[in-house]
Structure 1
Amino acid sequence: MKEKIVTFGEIMLRMTRPNKERIIQGSAWKGLFGGSEANVAVSLAMFGDNVEYVTRLPNNKIGMACLNEIRKYNVGTDYIVHGGDRLGLYYYEESAALRSSSIVYDREDSSITTIKSGMIDWKKTFSETRLFHWSGISSAVSQGAADATNEAVEEAEREGITISCDINHRANLWKYGKDAHDVLLPIAQKSDIVFGTADEWKLITGITPPDFKATTPDYPIDGAAYEEYFRKASKILPKAKKMIVALRNTLSANHHLLSGVIFADGKLYTTRIYDIDDVLDPMGVGDAFIAAYLHAHLKYGDDNQRCLNFSLAASALKNTILGDFNLSTEQEVEYLMNGFEE
């Protein structure tokens, strides 16, 4: 039995109007399950990893439907707890041409927002666990969820488990009176792997990363500027052995440019830029990136360049898949990655 990867966070039901209709129009909805840490779990399972997803679900038919959905991708659910009255929802308006996407959340009093410390037996959950992944979204929804996240990270740290953090800042979720920086930084400082966008890295460190303004794949990434940034960030996050920034420039709803950088072992690694001019669904692209990185890190170890190349290829492929989950296999990601290395 391979050692486990454990992820923890909220899964929700995503409601979308068909045919890129606006939230305020139409009569039909399409429902899909998704959520950052669940997205990571599904991606890892698609790569063949032994992964357990931990959350709190209502003990009703919606909770059962959610369990059925993630189990069909071979994600472990043995440590999911039940309680609360409802699953969180979000209503998603897809972007189109010059119109940006829009989200309306309906997650108040959901099962995860009413979670408390002690509801999950983390010591039991972490049996034979190699890596634990958390994200800032869970800490945003309530004090109880933030406490449960910190409780998990502290237990993982005590047991010597590698801890992965996706900063994952959503400003419109922080409504319980706490500042995102003040809550997230102390937990991130216990993490060995830290991932985020440039804006999220700025939130955590208070330092602005270099700009990424690519309009073509030959855009020059300023490696020296990123290296200088990470050397400063290392003083704020001294435990972080791997620091990763996902880079995206959105030219239109359907035209994105993607890249990424990793700072590891005192060295910066850069990779190519993907020019994606037919984006089908950008939701979960960052989750696909960090999931692929975690898989590559466990498989390739400190081959940081290969890990970065694999992560970016997986992230690029996610843009071609509808829904929150990245349903790409390891072989499909390697095919894309290697096709541009030869």
Structure 2
Amino acid sequence: MMATLSNTGKVLSFGELLLRLCPDEAGEWLADNHLPFYVGGAEANVATALALWGVPSAYLTALPDNFLSSQLVAYLQSRKVVTDTILLQGERVGLYYLPKGKDLKNTGVIYDRAGSSFAGLRPGIIDWDKALEGVSWLHLSAICPALNQAVADVCREALQAAKERNVFVSLDLNYRAKLWKYGQEPVEVMPELARYCDLIMGNIWAANKMLGIPLDDTLVEGGEKESLLQQSRLTSEAILERFPRCRTVANTFRFDYEEGIRYYTTLYTQNELEVSPEYRSRQILDKVGSGDCFMAGLIYGFYNRLSPSDTLAFATAAAFKKLFIPSDTTTSTVAEIQQTMSAYAN
């Protein structure tokens, strides 16, 4: 049975809260004794964006019971995120290191998440009756099941609980090669989770790597646009055929060139492929969190009953604007995003 989308409940984002530490590539942070940091984590980025845009937003994670966690929870609450079901257990907050301006897919990213409170989750620990009370939409990403088998099992537990309660589910196919280190390939784990999802977001390469969806091997990132759009349609149709619960698939295309960056997206639903305007810029500030902002934009649009084309336009503009914000989370308001939409409208 497919979930019926309701805009009367909260959107619950489930994932690991992270701190991003940003050493500069030249090593000047050592001499300056100054190391910038940001609060992040894919699902937390979605939760804070939704709260900023007026969508009732809740966040579920696991944190140690100490003063640092208290400060982090207070930070989320200051961003209007509901934190009532955050679980206190374990000993540490997960970290990752990435220089400013670099992409999380960059080989230089360093994860320090082993042994974190979230990585210590096990099935049966979370009270899903409590966690899903008043929730109409559950969001999670492929980063969580990449940590270890037990957390992957918790993700399945969450999805089963959502299905039993007719909660709409979205999944972001974030692929992080450095995290899949526990003996399982993504394609051995993610299809079992994807079958519970109503909306799946990612890109054509992630769908191939994580769900086993066929991909034309001749296609390269930054290749001919019409061929990529055609593959987006084929990938979307294949996902819908393989996972009957899913009714909507979104794909992003972000390419770096010497002259700057190109960004466009697609949304496949109701047998139609929507294509966003193409955004270009010579310079950006921070690539981290743009995909999360796109996902939040999709949720915002569908939650507010926007049309598929308007939903895609909003999500794409939100993601593009995030490239100019030096943090993991967006600070762009709905009005600012709408101004960007107007500027880039065809």
Q: Please name the residue that 2:45 is paired with.
A: 39
> Counterparts of 1:104 and 1:248 in 2: how far apart (Å)?
22
> Counterparts of 2:147 and 2:235 in 1: how far apart (Å)?
30
Does the CA contact (< 8 Å) of 1:95 and 1:102 recur in 2? no
Q: Please name the residue that 1:151 is paired with.
A: 157
> Counterparts of 2:10 and 2:101 in 1: how far apart (Å)?
37
Does the CA contact (< 8 Å) of 1:114 and 1:142 recur in 2? no
> Counterparts of 1:86 and 1:7 in 2: how far apart (Å)?
20
Does the CA contact (< 8 Å) of 1:22 and 1:93 recur in 2? no
Aligned residues: 333
Does the CA contact (< 8 Å) of 2:22 and 2:37 recur in 1? yes
| Residue 198 (structure 2) pairs with residue 189 (structure 1) | no
Does the CA contact (< 8 Å) of 1:281 and 1:322 recur in 2? yes
Could you tell me which of 175, 199, 206 is aligned with 1:200? 206
* Distance change >3 Å, CA 95–CA 172, structure 1 → 2: same
* Distance change >3 Å, CA 315–CA 286, structure 1 → 2: same
> Counterparts of 2:8 and 2:308 in 1: how far apart (Å)?
22
Q: Please name the residue that 2:222 is paired with.
A: 213
Per-residue CA deviations over 1:258-285 (Å, capped at 9, x if unaligned) read: 1101110111111111002221111000
SS of 1:171's equivalent?
Answer: coil
| Residue 267 (structure 2) pairs with residue 262 (structure 1) | yes
Does the CA contact (< 8 Å) of 1:95 and 1:101 recur in 2? no
Give structure 2 stretches of 5+ with no counterpart.
Answer: 1-6
Instruction: Give 1:311 deviation, angstroms.
Output: 0.6
Identity %: 26
SS of 2:207's equivalent?
Answer: helix
* Distance change >3 Å, CA 184–CA 101, structure 1 → 2: closer
Instruction: Give 1:328 deviation, angstroms.
Output: 1.1
| Residue 298 (structure 2) pairs with residue 281 (structure 1) | no
Give structure 1 stretches of 5+ with no counterpart.
Answer: none
If the length of structure 1 is used for normalisation, what is the TM-score? Answer: 0.91
Instruction: Give 1:225 deviation, angstroms.
Output: 4.0
What residue identity is the alignment partner of 2:108? S
Trace 1:34-73 onto structure 2 (pairs within 5 A): 34-73=40-79
> Counterparts of 1:101 and 1:323 in 2: how far apart (Å)?
20
What residue identity is the alignment partner of 1:213? G
Instruction: Give 1:222 deviation, angstroms.
Output: 5.2
Trace 1:82-93 onto structure 2 (pairs within 5 A): 82-93=88-99
If the length of structure 2 is used for normalisation, what is the TM-score? Answer: 0.90
Moved more, 201-210 or 305-314: 201-210
What residue identity is the alignment partner of 1:335? Q
Does the CA contact (< 8 Å) of 1:140 and 1:174 recur in 2? yes
| Residue 44 (structure 2) pairs with residue 28 (structure 1) | no
CA RMSD after TM alignment:
2.2
Instruction: Give 1:95 deviation, angstroms.
Output: 4.8
